[in-house]
Structure 1
Amino acid sequence: MRVILPVLAGAIAFTDVVSAHYRWTSLIVNGAATSPYQYVRQNTNANSPVTSVSSNDIRCNAGGLASGASTGTASVAAGATVGFALDQAIFHPGPITVYLSKAPSTAASYDGSGAWFKIAEVGATISTSAITWPASDISQYTFKIPSSTPAGEYLLRIEHIALHSASTTDGAQFYISCAQLKISGSGSGSPGPTIKLPGGYSATDPGILIGIYWPIPTSYKIPGPAVWSG
């Protein structure tokens, strides 16, 4: 994990700008990463992030709404541990969030315009002298599908919000991927609260428009709704 000290802020900001970007390319099922883009919708903007929260690209990245038909759908049980692997470790500082959205029919044909609910997140650890981002330097992230998730086909969305340039509007960078899932089980929960994408985030949300270097924030609010644990 990365610790940002005030004296190092300028140097880190510079290296963040010039470092390579990263992509969530593979779904993790049964403890192993599947082939890149086997179950993860492939984006069309190489490794460039989304910066506008008002664009439909905030759902599944640029091109992610068009690649469903060429992407497989993985079968998992409610309560299972799944995850995403990256093509390289996360470099920029910021949080991770994970959402599900149930498809009206098949995940492969779903455009993500329905309701999204959050099932996992990783934020910041703040002290008087530093801010730490546990998501930094990881190459994969795993989490549980809530055990009471109703059966059906879903889009599973992960994002890392890079905040190294987030002190200006549209400066935050969203590294997003969506996987296609068919969730089985007898879950009868009512997932919520939910948001729409776009619409659930504002460019001026305190977790999106924020200077993280100096002065060191005394708190950090992860964007979006509360986590539904099922």
Structure 2
Amino acid sequence: MKVIFAVLAVITAPFVNAHYTFPDFIVGSTVSADWQYIRETANHYSNGPATSVTDPEFRCYELDLQNTAGQTSTASVSAGSTVGFKAVSRDVNGAIYHPGYLDVMMSKASPAANSPEAGTGNTWFKVYEQKPTFANGQLTFPSTSQQQFTFTIPKSLPSGQYLVRVEQIALHVASTFGGAQFYIGCAQVNVVNGGSGSPGPLVSIPGVYTGYEPGILINIYNLPSNFTGYQAPGPAVWQG
């Protein structure tokens, strides 16, 4: 089977130049300054992806695992409110360019969102995803060509400090192990007006993936004849 893309730009522009970062956090209708609430990533100049799912850097892809967290501000947000991420690319208008899967995970932060220890345990849960859709033998990628996206923080999420991790898994060269490209960013937030929910299932990052998941190791240009749909990697979305 052949794959089709959500927009013509995905077909016509060169894949190799289409790297991006997620430096801007959105609270309501306000877009932050670059790296104000999001830990500055190691690819802030190159825009290149992470490819190893086992490295400590896979968690938030920080420029400095020890110091970046403390140099980043923490945004105050309400449970049930709208937040999001804006992507930036030096190469392609529209930013989120590669076909792939997009999700957001959160982790209760201990001792605080701006500490390097935050998110290091079995604490992560998924709150949002955009999956490729499959119909008439073809995949379509809704996350492609978006410059920004928003979602709702679950209303029942308990108050406290959290990391909010965006991840777009680009699948254009994912037909061999290690080929998938991960574009990552972690916002630091303090959730207020929360509820009494119990987020889950909980996973660790790294640890959530092996790299052999069918949603990560996949040839999107030559789908098998028995393909029935895209299998999202990681845990199910917690609805709150």
Aligned to 1:43: 41
The answer on whether the counterparts of 1:95 and 1:160 sit within 8 Å (CA) in structure 2 is yes
In the TM superposition, residue 14 of structure 1 has moved relative to its aligned partner by 8.6
> TM-score w.r.t. structure 2 length?
0.87
- Whole-angstrom distance in 1 between the partners of 2:81 and 2:55: 32
The answer on whether the counterparts of 2:173 and 2:180 sit within 8 Å (CA) in structure 1 is yes
Instruction: Report which stretch shifted further, 167-176 or 83-92.
Output: 83-92
What's the secondary structure of 1:69's corresponding residue? helix
**Alignment pair present for 1:4 and 2:12:** no
Q: What amino acid does structure 1 have at the position aligned with 2:52?
A: S
5 Å-filtered alignment, 1:47-196, equals: 47-63=47-63, 65-66=65-66, 67-88=68-89, 89-111=95-117, 112-114=119-121, 115-196=123-204
CA RMSD of aligned residues (A): 2.0
Q: Deviations over 1:145-173 (max 9, x none)?
A: 10011111111000000001111001000
- Whole-angstrom distance in 1 between the partners of 2:237 and 2:170: 20
What's the secondary structure of 1:43's corresponding residue? coil
**Alignment pair present for 1:219 and 2:229:** yes
- Whole-angstrom distance in 2 between the partners of 1:229 and 1:171: 31
Identity of aligned residues (%): 47
What's the secondary structure of 1:195's corresponding residue? coil
Say which structure is richer in helix: 1
Structure 1 gaps of 5+ residues are none
Q: Alpha carbons of 1:64 and 1:12: their partners in 2 closer, same or farther (altered >3 Å)?
A: farther
Aligned to 2:14: 15
The answer on whether the counterparts of 1:84 and 1:142 sit within 8 Å (CA) in structure 2 is yes
> TM-score w.r.t. structure 1 length?
0.91
What is the total number of aligned residue pairs between the two structures?
A: 223
- Whole-angstrom distance in 1 between the partners of 2:144 and 2:20: 12
The answer on whether the counterparts of 1:172 and 1:208 sit within 8 Å (CA) in structure 2 is yes
What's the secondary structure of 2:179's corresponding residue? coil
Q: What amino acid does structure 2 have at the position aligned with 1:52?
A: S
The answer on whether the counterparts of 2:22 and 2:88 sit within 8 Å (CA) in structure 1 is yes
5 Å-filtered alignment, 1:202-213, equals: 202-213=210-221
- Whole-angstrom distance in 1 between the partners of 2:145 and 2:3: 13
Structure 1 runs (4+) deviating above 4 angstroms are 11-14
- Whole-angstrom distance in 2 between the partners of 1:65 and 1:181: 18
